[in-house]
Chain A
Amino acid sequence: MNVNKIYPWYFSSGAIVLYLLFIVAPALLGIYYSFTDWNSYSSEKNFIGLEHFRTILAGDPTYLLFIKNTVLFTLITSIAKTVLGLFLALLLVSGVKAANLHRMIIFSPQVLSFLIVGLVFKSLLDPNNGFVNVTLRSLGLDVLAQNWLGSLTWAMPSIMAVDTWKGMGYIMVLFIAGLLAIPRDYYEAASIDGAGFWQKLFRITIPMLMPTITIATVLNITYGLRVFDAVYVLTNGGPGNATDVINTAVYSSFAKGYWGIGSALSTILFVIMAIISFFIIRLMNRKVEY
């Protein structure tokens, strides 16, 4: 056997063993468990086929609500983070004063744990003594004061807003890097041709930023689909199940000891993410030509 072909495997064998043991095997086991009635009340694991999947996708409307909430959360926060991140990046590269300081301040929520962010915002959004409502009331805007995390109307938008606030700084930094990589020649040539701000934005900036936009979209979507901590800390899925997402349902299933159905929910999430990732990767592979 050709030694040159063997050596790469030889050197990576340890890593491959660890990868198989800690990444591949648990993932495959998780998928296997989703076809069983595995639970904390019995040591038996019986194969039950697609029963859990039937329950989730056809038998119980609550699960469909969790999937709907997850998709809605992903869609809205992805768009919000991308648009706001791009807006802030354009603002900060346009020569605004103390740009680095602003960049640092806007980015800083990204480094905080959502546990901290969640607790802070729970306090700020407290309907009785929270900063937001107290400020609104002190300005005579009582009508705008809401039960932000406790009402059916406002709970999900509040979580989305907090998540967007936390995540947009990271997207902004990506866009700044992308914007700085665009050669200035294009803009100078466009200016000579008489192009205005909007023309430059839509004809030069956004097309040239497409690879960055794609990366930002991938990150936002995969984060959105995996969301757990934001919901768990801020509302724990309430009121009722109004803000529950797939991962809070997975947590809840595991908490109840229903590990089989929890695994099935995780598998469904995995499949959704795999499909979306497939299309995004295909999109990323398309060359953008100018």
Chain B
Amino acid sequence: MRKRFLLSLVGALLLSSLLLAGCNSGKSSEGSGKVTLTFGTSQSGIPRTGIMQTMAKEYEQETGVKIDFQVVPDAQWRDLIKVKLASGEAPDIFNVDVDPLSMPANVRPEENAIDLTNEEFTGRMSEEILPTVSYKEKVYGVSFAPSKIWYVYYNKRIFEELGIQPPTSYAEFKAISQKIKDKDIIPFYQAPASGWYQVLPLFETGPNYEQATPGTYEKLNNNEMKVADLTQLKTVIEQLKEFADLGYFGKDFLSNTVEAGIEAFGQEKAAMLLRVPGTEKEVSEAYPDMKDNMGFFVMPWGDNQTIGVNPGGSAAMFGNKNSKHPEEVLKFFRWITEHDHLQRVFDGGEGNLTICWPEIEPKLTQDYIDYEKNHEKGTVMQAAVKYIDPQWMDIGKDLSGMFAGAMTPDQILQNIDKRRAEQAKVLKDDAWQ
């Protein structure tokens, strides 16, 4: 009796173990033998138009390999993919927002990503993007992203009616904002509720700091100076606070979201907002009256007149090194990066004017080309200084706190340094030891 009982108990335990083991198996292949590749991405990691999904269906018809997209909201993906990579359950293909500084830490490519160095297509990606998807001279990611530039877009009609010109200094920026406010129009659309938008002026104007004091980025990276010592950055933060206090962001702007910015700008409730090239198309499609009514200029906080360029900052695809189907992953990368397919991704996207493949003709208008010719360019701070990008949302919260009156610019700078030190410690950065 007792022996029978013990045998039954062991049997029950074994059955439980087998059931649990079964839960974790066969995650990417189907019983029929047909290969299914899982593709995990944030919402903004692939075009909202659905062009990638459409092309994946064609790929399935051609090859029999199905791509199963798992699209996760942006705010959750950054965390989710870290957990999935750590637990060994990442999709066969995964998208991660990349920049040359944080990609190695976020992806840990040597452990998690398929080496693409010797693939033919890596040689065709732009040289600007390669550092953002590379680590220790090996290429791990494939990107379609354009180099990102944030300009201040303005309503030409409002500017003409008020007889004002795009500003070239902070003083001019303030003066025109007052004139716009006097006409009961919100001078500048700000969106703290989205968490990240208000941070842009701080670090997109980074090239200005570097130009004023060459070597700043290097000193920050070597922990030879603190962010708190960056007086120009403090000036920008103080100017943002001044804009808020003077009402140039509108009343009760703390609840504004980025998504509502197009509406406010398109309906001429706000005269200026920060956006990337291609905005004209998005705005004029929703508000046809705005067609040919939009101009742009470089953000003039801190008297900045340099165009800040972020070579990465957007999503790149990685093949999961631990995938059961690495060859199929590579085949898909080779297929999607064929010239015609790249062109389709570009044409079928939301309206980006460039793509990081030189063989694809950009759609930049003459205005942009001329503007870039007449202004100096530099790399934005978050793409050149360590431990800035990973704390972007924290800085956004601090800035919201400052707008609400809970924090001072000095406290924000100290917090940035504190969080940099925390991350440097986690990553065992020699410069912080």
Contacts and interface: CB of A to CB of B under 8 A. Distances in A.
Interface of A: 1, 3, 6, 10, 13-14, 17-18, 21, 37, 39-43, 122, 126-128, 147, 149-152, 236-242, 252, 254-258
B401 interface: yes
Of A37, A126, A240, the most chain B CB neighbours within 10 A belong to A240
A41 B401 contact: no
A127 B260 CA distance: 14
B12 A147 contact: no
B47 interface: no
B255 interface: yes
Nearest to A257: B82
B251 interface: yes
Given A13-B13, A240-B400, A149 B255 contact: yes
Given A39-B426, A147-B255, A255-B79, A152 B404 contact: yes
Given A6-B5, A14-B16, A41-B426, A147 B401 contact: no
The prevalent SS among residues of B at the interface is helix
Contact of A238 (B12, B252, B400): B400
Given A1-B2, A237-B397, A152 B405 contact: yes
Contacts of B255: 122, 126-128, 147, 149-150
A41 B108 contact: yes
Given A40-B83, A252-B394, 10 more contacts: A3-B1, A40-B82, A43-B111, A127-B252, A147-B254, A152-B404, A236-B397, A241-B406, A242-B406, A255-B79
B204 interface: no
Contact of B86 (A37, A40, A126, A236): A40
A150 B426 CA distance: 33
A131 to B, nearest CB: 14
Contact of B404 (A6, A128, A240, A257): A240
Contacts of B15: 14
A152 to B, nearest CB: 5
Contact of A10 (B5, B78, B82, B405): B5
B254 A10 contact: no
Contacts of A239: 192, 254, 397, 400-401, 403-404, 406
A24 to B, nearest CB: 15
Contacts of B398: 240
B105 interface: yes
Contact of A41 (B79, B105, B195, B405): B105
13 contacts: A1-B2, A17-B12, A21-B16, A37-B426, A42-B426, A42-B427, A127-B252, A128-B255, A152-B406, A239-B400, A240-B404, A252-B394, A255-B78
Contacts of A43: 86, 108, 111
B390 interface: yes
B90 interface: no
Nearest to A238: B400
A232 B40 CA distance: 24
Nearest to A41: B105
Contact of B390 (A14, A17, A256): A256
B278 to A, nearest CB: 28
A257 B86 CA distance: 10
B407 interface: yes
B175 interface: no
B9 to A, nearest CB: 6
Interface string B119-135: 00000000000000000
